Amino acid sequence: MLQRFILQAARVALLVLLFGGLCPRPAFSTEVLPEVNILSGNSKAFTEASRLMLEGHWKRAASVWSELLKEHPSNRNYLYLYGHCLLEIPGRRAEAVPPLLKAIQGGFATAYNPMNPLEERPPIEALGDAVRARQLEGEYHEAVILADRLLAMVGALHRLYSQATHIKESCLFALEAMARPSTARLTNLAELNTPLDDYAPVVSVDGGELFFTSHRKANLNTGDLTIEEAVVYHSKLNSDGWGPAVELRLGLDEGDRASVSISSDGNTLVTYASANEGGGLYENKRMPTGWSPPEAIGAPIDSKYWETHMTETFDGQERYFVSDRPDGEGGRDLYRVVLLPNGKWSMPATLGPHINTTGEEESPVLSADGRMLYFASNGHPGFGGFDLYRCERLLDGSWGTVLNMGAPLNTPEDETSISLDASGRQGFVASSTSGHGGLDLFAVEFIEEAVGDRAVFRGTIESTGSHFGQFVVEARAPGFSRTYMPHGAEAAFVMTLPACRAYQIILHEGNYQRQIVALDVPCNAGIAACGKVLEFSSFGPAPATVRTEISASKYAVEPAGNRLKRQFAETEAQHIVAILAEGAHVLVQLTGSSAGGTDVDEALARRRAENGREAIREALDATGVDWIEKVDFSLDWQRQGASGHALNIVLTRID
């Protein structure tokens, strides 16, 4: 997705350069040019190179300009166009500096004609490219000097004026920031990177899985990547490091796919998929046999505009996403939606001008506790290109000051995304600096920097011998409830829980509560404090009591009994038989409500319970199991609130 933006932005920049674009259009030259044979070598090469630039084929265009410069080494326009191509090629930006510096030694064309192969003077944009090249090489002092020269030559309304001003501010910021580097340590993931682009890292909360996007299937011979070559890959951490990258089959095979985010339980993968000149966000659910077909995120995030990235809070109550819809600050901006009490998402709201800029904001990521927002931007002061930023959530829920994450994490090259585990101390970034080529994946570790107070537990579910529903793990505490979906052959799951709380951990299978385990999470159990993922191993194969709930609140006595008979006949009765065979009790809770707590209401509740008990007995008798007659149907009635009733039927096998 970011690759699509970079390619489109480069084409737009070239069109602006050649044909006026967003700034007041300079008058084209009206001079009568000498008659030129359009098929002559130089003219034909000039036309071919110009066409390649318009199509974004920078490497091939650079080769043509290089050949032209062999015959015309002092043509400053050719030097400029050659340097411009090199500036757009990852890994060759350093080569752009010499031709661009030569191109700006002298005056500039006052009426630049981009279609004139005899033009020897470059446009003023050559000086803008030289400023940018110096910045991207980390030569910040020289970039400031060239920026001052450019600012003195163009008016405040010229497009290059704001560009030069921004670069100058960024260079002055970078010079100061380099004197106080951050505590980040970067390591190139050589085992996963390729000579082509590897980017968009997404790490699971426990740090054990890594999803990323790669162009490794691209044609290495042409050197020109195409959008359709982006594929999502997956790697698992083992005792020897990261395992092999495995391509994920996620559906929507046409167009590129890019990894975006993973839910806190590791079971929902959000990806970006291109479609013609646009694209959108999709969700894939983890299934026992792989990943489900993709489903569009849908409104209000999806729109007729361009949405490229999305993340959500740990509790699923907020989503932050990227869009280029017109009510932002310009380009792509960050937006927020919240989950309303009716289960629908609110209308999107921009994060405002202190986060969004007239440039581009991308790749929002939230810390595990939701208190820190990370994102990429090329609009805030930085080291050059896209940098990584963060801001902290204030007590009133708003976002505080945007802070550049500093060197060595940020460089003059593009840092396009970051993904952190639950500790906030370890994660991954994508950068185009000092890697294998193009964008590479880097592991990052922040020394003595930690965010979040959440404990991360990893567990599995042992086989119960009865499989009649999807396993779901639920964590409950006062004011807190979250479910986690086990996956894989081991029924593995990951829970991320706020520390300093006591929980009930409930194992559901279908509509039955298999086990309930008390879990006390001390304050020092947070991954930021203890630095490790904890093991949860309290789910065993033999629960003492299995619970389920039946609602009879909307039925009179006889209809309720008929309803219960139908419900427990066949499927539910077989489930209960399987559980009783394991030696567990089965607690069936019948819930009802009434207008008040009178004796009449209590009598009605008791009649419903007795009717339900007989319905269950008949359904079990119909199964034909010989020991069903020995089931004890003890009954316990209790009031549930001022106007509700809970009626518990305990089923126990008696051998």
pLDDT at 119 > cutoff 70: yes
As a whole number, the mean pLDDT across the chain is 79
Q: Which of 192-201, 469-478, 549-558 has the lowest mean pLDDT?
A: 549-558
pLDDT given for residue 448 in this prediction: 56
pLDDT at 143 > cutoff 80: yes
pLDDT given for residue 402 in this prediction: 95
Q: Which of 219-223, 430-434, 444-448, 506-510 has the lowest mean pLDDT?
A: 219-223
Q: Which of 4-13, 446-455, 585-594 has the lowest mean pLDDT?
A: 4-13
pLDDT given for residue 26 in this prediction: 31
More confident residue, 519 or 448: 519
pLDDT at 28 > cutoff 60: no
Q: How confident is the model at residue 3 (pLDDT cuts 50, 70, 90)?
A: very low
The length of the chain in residues reads: 655
Alpha-carbon distance 620 to 573, whole Å? Answer: 5
Alpha-carbon distance 187 to 113, whole Å? Answer: 47
CB 392 within 8 A of CB 409: no
pLDDT given for residue 10 in this prediction: 40
pLDDT at 419 > cutoff 70: yes
Amino acid at 372: M
Measured CA angle at 333 (ends 251, 24), to 5 deg: 115
| 188-201 per-position pLDDT tens digit | 998 998 888 889 99
Measured CA angle at 210 (ends 356, 436), to 5 deg: 80
Q: How confident is the model at residue 515 (pLDDT cuts 50, 70, 90)?
A: confident
pLDDT at 20 > cutoff 60: no
> What residue has token string 């959000």?
270
Q: How confident is the model at residue 22 (pLDDT cuts 50, 70, 90)?
A: very low
pLDDT given for residue 215 in this prediction: 81
What is the arithmetic mean of pLDDT over 110-139?
91
pLDDT at 15 > cutoff 60: no
pLDDT given for residue 131 in this prediction: 95
The fold of the 454-536 domain, in CATH, is: Immunoglobulin-like (2.60.40)
pLDDT at 297 > cutoff 60: yes
pLDDT at 442 > cutoff 60: yes
Please report, for the chain, the start and end positions of each structural domain, with discontinuous segments joined by +. 2-177, 184-446, 454-536, 547-653
pLDDT given for residue 557 in this prediction: 44
Q: Which of 295-304, 336-345, 631-640 has the lowest mean pLDDT?
A: 631-640
| 353-396 per-position pLDDT tens digit | 999 999 999 999 998 778 889 999 999 999 988 999 999 888 77
Q: How confident is the model at residue 431 (pLDDT cuts 50, 70, 90)?
A: confident
Beta-carbon contacts of 486 under 8 Å, excluding residues fewer than 6 positions away, are 460, 461, 471, 472, 473, 492, 493
Q: How confident is the model at residue 472 (pLDDT cuts 50, 70, 90)?
A: confident
List Cα–Cα distances, 466 to 473, 568, 578, 580, in angstroms.
17, 17, 6, 11
Q: Which of 406-420, 454-468, 544-558, 562-576 has the lowest mean pLDDT?
A: 544-558
List Cα–Cα distances, 426 to 212, 367, 471, in angstroms.
16, 11, 30
Beta-carbon contacts of 521 under 8 Å, excluding residues fewer than 6 positions away, are 455, 497, 498, 499, 500, 501, 502, 503
SS3 letters across 137-156: CCCHHHHHHHHHHHHHHCCC
For domain 2-177, is the CATH number 1.10.8.60? no
The fold of the 547-653 domain, in CATH, is: Translation Initiation Factor IF3 (3.30.110)
Q: Which of 273-277, 303-307, 592-596 has the lowest mean pLDDT?
A: 592-596
| 588-627 per-position pLDDT tens digit | 766 554 445 566 666 776 676 677 677 777 777 777 777 7
pLDDT given for residue 179 in this prediction: 80
E strand or H helix at 96: helix 93-103
Measured CA angle at 493 (ends 488, 497), to 5 deg: 165
pTM, whole model, 2 decimals? Answer: 0.67
Measured CA angle at 360 (ends 373, 90), to 5 deg: 105
CB 232 within 8 A of CB 222: no
More confident residue, 650 or 339: 339
Question: 262 by DSSP, 3-state: which?
Answer: strand
pLDDT given for residue 18 in this prediction: 31
Torsion angle of the four alpha carbons 362, 367, 373, 378, in this order, in degrees rounded to the nearest 10: -40
Q: What's the distance, CA 242 to chain centroid? A: 20
pLDDT at 551 > cutoff 70: no
Instruction: List the structure tokens of 143.
Output: 């970039």
CB 460 within 8 A of CB 491: yes
Q: How confident is the model at residue 653 (pLDDT cuts 50, 70, 90)?
A: low
Q: What class has domain 184-446?
A: mainly beta
Per DSSP, 524 falls in state G
